[in-house]
Amino acid sequence: MSTIKNKIAGEWLSLEKYLPMDKTTATKDLEKFIEKFEPSKFKLLQRGIEIRGIKDLNRSISFAKELIDQLKLKLTVSHSAEMAMYGSFEVVYQ
């Protein structure tokens, strides 16, 4: 069972219970992304993760998209004006 430390709550959580669809692929893709992107704060969501506390949002979103393309992960970046106010964006399973 794959686990990852939720940096907001400081707890070890299992990604499998948060992710729908093909849990193995989703878990592996999210784990690879988190390892390479190294977010300082993130929250596990039902469909992926929300990365928080970003100061340079445009640069971070661009880097996340490039990383997803380079690693050929089945993930996408999702963001809105409301999220931008809080310096956050989501990386979700396709």
**Which phi-psi region, left, alpha or beta, contains residue 4 (left: φ > 0; alpha: ψ -120 to 50)?**
beta
Tell me the average pLDDT of the chain: 81
Q: Which domain holds residue 69?
A: 3-93
Confidence of residue 46 (pLDDT cuts 50, 70, 90): confident
Q: How far is CA 22 from CA 33, 53, 55, in A?
A: 17, 29, 33
Name the domain count of the chain. 1
Residue in this structure with the two tokens 């999220």, named with its chain if needed: 83
CATH of the domain at 27: 3.30.70
Query: pLDDT tens for residues 47-65?
Result: 899 999 899 999 999 999 9
